[in-house]
Structure 1
Amino acid sequence: MSLEIFLFHLELLATSQSQKNLTPDWGMISAIIGFATLLAAIIIGIIQIVITKFPKKEIKEIKCIEISSVSLVKVDKKIANELEIFFQGKKIKYLTFTVLRVYNSGDLPITPSDFVRPISLIFTPIITTTEIIKAEILNATEHLQPIIEVKNNIIELEPLLMNSGDSFDISIITNLEENNINIDSRIVGIQNIKIEEGRVEVIDSFSSRSKQEAQSPPTQDFVRILLIISLVIYLIILSI
């Protein structure tokens, strides 16, 4: 065999070996994919167990939102002696309209027995009963029947059952230049309630439950099925 022929065969062998090395090992790739699938299923299962063992802490909370406060009448002091304005038969210098929304923003119901002291809206500075012209309940959640009573400078809410998402509005008209209101209450499991400014969406019990269900983690049965399917796929790939 001549040297040229030997070198030709050697080059051909090297080229063949190089092409063989470039050929993907599909068996190894399939095994890696199967293992990754199984590992992902195991991780999801562990997360589900952790969520089940350590569920989200349920919150007990009431919020009071000032959704509107408007000065309807304000008589300038320069013409106060020359101008008389009456509202429902009462002479007024000011007329201020405020709407507060009270709602159970937590996950737990609040029962009448939870109220050590009722929710009271206290107007400051101290005023007389004639300056709270009108106070009424509006937009209460279905079957919710809040009752309020006006006492001196206080609007008091009788203890009541409020399920998660229940809400109602308190409409207040006063003969005050502006309504400065503080809240006094003592409710089991709830810190002091403060009036917040802003707008809040009415949340009914049904939509609240639906939202919680939509955000709930996968069930244990679903995780078991996923684990079984992943294991079967992994074993099939290994047998190929």
Structure 2
Amino acid sequence: MSFSIEILLGFSAVIAAITVPLIIYFLQKSKRRLAYEVVSNAQLVGVKSEVQNKIKIYYENKLVENVHLVSIRIINSGNQPISIDDFARPISIQLGSNTNILTSEVLGLNPKDLDVSILKMQNSVEIQPLLLNPNDSLTLNILISDYRGGLEVSARVRGISNIEIYRKPESIKSIFLFSLVVLLLILNFFNAVFKNKIGSFFGLDNQNLALILLGPIIIFMCYTMASLLYQVIKDFLIRKVREVYSEESKE
């Protein structure tokens, strides 16, 4: 009886030993991403409407209304560089068809020597193609009148389908620690099973209870391992085909 349970536990350990490196591989694999973050959106005169009607704002001797100062950060959130040649269309920040952009300026750069050129239009700002290494970022300050909220950031970049809203990525260290805690909890649970503390409560012996609990876990781990292996092989073959095609093109 105990021999069967030991085989199941050993098999689970082997699958886990194969699956964990595959998961780490996918967390570290090449990713091309471009993201944006609205750092702040402040109305220039944020007072009650009855008082606001008595306050007038002029820009270059022209009356402007509903003025906002919007700060937007653009960041290479992937782990691959984005070169100038990767851009088919520059990064465009659309702020609404009826808005009027008064000023736009670069507020911050990471790194400091990032070469940025921007083009201000009536209701949009374009960031000209530039080299963005992983974690490189730039922050723009845009002063807008007649702003009703909302914006759209777009570009045409090789290997990137769309510019997404920036979310701070989970570190591999955090994921590893979380997995370790879960594993310790599972081991502690099975320790209670083998001491017959849980099985006796349900009227089951150790072997039957272990099979009931381990069966779904082993099936899930096998499925995960097979899916990851399939993706690894697929990525490898695609990369090799691209390398062969690239060499033939050079010839």
Q: Once the 2 structures are TM-superposed, how far is the Cα of residue 114 of structure 1 from its aligned partner?
A: 0.6
Return the letter of the residue paired with 1:141: N
Report the TM-score when normalising by structure 2.
Answer: 0.53
**1:88-167 correspondence to structure 2 within 5 Å:** 88-127=60-99, 131-142=100-111, 143-167=113-137
Conservation of the 8 A alpha-carbon contact between 1:138 and 1:170: yes
Conservation of the 8 A alpha-carbon contact between 2:95 and 2:147: no
Deviations 1:48-69 (A, max 9, x none): 9965xx6652110011111211
**1:180-191 correspondence to structure 2 within 5 Å:** 180-191=150-161
Q: Once the 2 structures are TM-superposed, how far is the Cα of residue 125 of structure 1 from its aligned partner?
A: 2.4
Q: Distance in 2 between matches of 1:158 and 1:79?
A: 37
Unaligned runs of 5+ in 1: 1-38, 204-210, 218-240
Q: Distance in 1 between matches of 2:79 and 2:137?
A: 13
Report the TM-score when normalising by structure 1.
Answer: 0.55
Report what 1:61 is aligned to: 33
Q: Secondary structure at the match of 1:94?
A: coil
Deviations 1:175-205 (A, max 9, x none): 12434321231111011224x3x8x77x9xx
Q: Secondary structure at the match of 1:59?
A: coil
Q: In proportion to residue count, which structure has more helix?
A: 2
Q: Distance in 1 between matches of 2:150 and 2:163?
A: 15
Q: Secondary structure at the match of 2:133?
A: coil
Give 1 or 2 for the bigger CA radius of gyration. 1
Q: Secondary structure at the match of 2:72?
A: strand
Deviations 1:82-137 (A, max 9, x none): 6532235432222101111100110100000110111111221244xxx2111111
How many percent of aligned residue pairs carry the same amino acid?
Answer: 25
Q: Distance in 2 between matches of 1:115 and 1:134?
A: 25
Q: Once the 2 structures are TM-superposed, how far is the Cα of residue 138 of structure 1 from its aligned partner?
A: 1.5
Q: Relative to structure 1, is the Cα distance of residues 73 and 87 closer, same or farther in structure 2, using a 3 angstrom cutoff?
A: farther
Unaligned runs of 5+ in 2: 1-9, 177-251
Q: Relative to structure 1, is the Cα distance of residues 78 and 43 closer, same or farther in structure 2, using a 3 angstrom cutoff?
A: closer
Return the letter of the residue paired with 1:99: S
What is the CA RMSD across the aligned residues, in angstroms? 4.0
Number of equivalent positions: 165
